[in-house]
Structure 1
Amino acid sequence: MSNSKEDSTWSLIAFRVLVNTASHPIEYAKVLIQIGHEPIPPYPTKTLFGKPALALPNVFQYVSYIKSVDGFTGCYRGLTPKLCANAVSGIVFNKVSDHLNFNEEDKPDEDDITEEERRWRYVQRLTRDIIARTAAIITSQPFTVIAVRMMAQFVGGETKYSGIFGSIRTIYQENGIGGFFSGVIPRILGDITSLAISTTLTFAINHYLVDDRDIRTYVSASMNFVASAVTYPFQLVSTCMAVTNSGLVAGKPPHMPIYSSWTDCWSHLSRTNQIKRGSSLIWRYYVGPQIVINGQKVALNKNNFIANGAM
Structure 2
Amino acid sequence: MENILTPLIEQRADPHIYRHTDGYYYFTASVPQYDRIELRRAKTIAGLVDAEKVDVWRKPDTGACSELVWAPELHYNDGAWYVYFAAAPSREIKYKLFQHRMYAIRNQNANPLEGEWEFMGQVDTGIDTFCLDATTFTHKGQLYYVWAQKDVDIEGNSNLYIAPMKTPWQLGGKPVMLSKPEFDWEIRGFWVNEGPSVLKKNGKIFISYSASATDENYAMGLLWADENADLLDPASWTKSPQPVLQTCFEHKIYGPGHNSFTVADDGETVMLVYHARTYTEIIGDPLWNPDRHTFVKPLKWDAQGMPVFGKPSIA
TM-score by length of 2: 0.28
Flag the structure with higher strand content.
2
Say which structure, 1 or 2, has more relative contact order (CA 8 Å, 6+ apart).
Answer: 1
TM-score by length of 1: 0.28
